[in-house]
A and B are shown apart, each in its own frame.
Chain A
Amino acid sequence: MARYFAIFKNGLWNENPIFKLIIGLCPTLAVTNTVVNGFAMGMATGFVLISSEIVISLIKKFIPNDVRIPSFILIIVTFVTFTDYFLGAFFPEIADALALFIPLIVVNCLILGRQEAFASRNPTRRAIFDAVGMTVGFTWVLVVLSAIRELFGFGTLAGVDIFGAGYTNMIIMILPGGAFLTLGVLVGVLNLLDRKVGSDNG
């Protein structure tokens, strides 16, 4: 069990997709202007990641090596399309807010990367722990990032007013520029923290 937990924990920090592997940055930069959007994007990506890691780890023996990438893409596309229709039918507000970034989950290299690096070489049970760990790791960074941007950009957190009516919104924080600024500082701070904790332990 400890072994599985180690796989899960891997995605939270040691191999965190955003601030360690630096992959999956397109949605990270694009949709994190409110906490709700950041969280929804994390969940949608997580669903696709978990489902495709399960399917690919199950059928990996039948996929010839030469066509493994196209096969992974076909499977990922299927789950992304499912997510698109599902959100459109049952969560139309979220579907409107994320709009074209849902179909773009297909090209999120976090997903393809984990199939190639993990699901296609490990048994299903381990793949599930990897996918869930990566999902939580991806989502928490998205939420922190969007919380910072929403707080300064709109003066709110998850729609709740924090700074009051007198606050002048920092428009830059909602625009792509704010995403780059915040992400850069956040990745720097987290890696600094990581180095500090690492040197204390070592």
Chain B
Amino acid sequence: MAEKNNSIARLIITLTIIGALGALFLAGVYEWTIPHILEHEARARERAIMEVLPEVDYYEEATHNDRIFYEGYDENDNFVGVAVSLRGGGYAGEIEIMIGSDPYAREIINIFILNHQETPGLGARITEEEFRENFENAPFSELEIVRRTPEEPQEIEAIAGATMSVEAVKNIVSRVGDVISEHYGGGS
């Protein structure tokens, strides 16, 4: 019996030591890599903001209800628009989109896909310029997917073979009107 206890103690001690050493090592790795990881994220975000608010020279962060809004200004300190990142479910995982908008004209300026897990060659085509152009000057309202060349500003041209991904992007972007209006006034 004593021997049995002994061996159980030994099992626990072995696993504890391995776990503790592993955790110690990883704590060091975390300290070492996290500044680089955060920097990449910040750079990707900044690039996205510049992309969705083309005339912006600098931007300021404003937080309302735990949501960060990036308010962009041009060289002459004129207000250009607000960028905000929204996320939602896509076909294969979550899609995160930076959306630039003009809260007073109540329209979308441009969008940029920050993160997605969509199928390469199909759903991943939502990141292409040609698809993103659909959203330029789209109004703050429920957008519509069409299978022909769009004629109205709220119409988005579908991508063949990527119905779910396009639908997901449309749904996420359609929410931006409500999110922006909540803090920048307007609303019908």
Contacts of B15 in A (CB 8 A): 67, 70-71, 74
Measured in the bound complex, the distance between the Cα atoms of B121 and A90 in whole Å is 26
Known A81-B26, A85-B33, A99-B117: A74·B18 in contact at CB below 8 Å: yes
* Contact flags B15-33 to A (C-beta < 8 A → 1, else 0): 1001100100110011011
Asked whether A2 is an interface residue with its Cβ less than 8 Å from the other chain, the reply is: no
Given A71-B18, A90-B33, 8 more contacts at CB 8 Å? A64-B14, A74-B15, A85-B33, A89-B32, A92-B37, A92-B40, A169-B121, A171-B161
| Count of residues in B whose CB is under 8 Å from the partner chain | 25
Partner-A contacts on B (CB < 8 A): 7, 10-11, 14-15, 18-19, 22, 25-26, 29-30, 32-34, 36-37, 40, 115, 117, 119-122, 161
Residue of B nearest to A83 (CB): B29
Measured in the bound complex, the distance between the Cα atoms of B25 and A108 in whole Å is 22
Determine if A174 and B121 form an interchain contact, defined as CB atoms under 8 angstroms apart: yes
Measured in the bound complex, the distance between the Cα atoms of B9 and A66 in whole Å is 12
Partner-B contacts on A (CB < 8 A): 33-34, 62-64, 66-67, 70-71, 74-75, 77-78, 81-82, 85-86, 88-90, 92, 96, 99-100, 153-154, 169, 171, 174-175
Contacts of A71 in B (CB 8 A): 14-15, 18
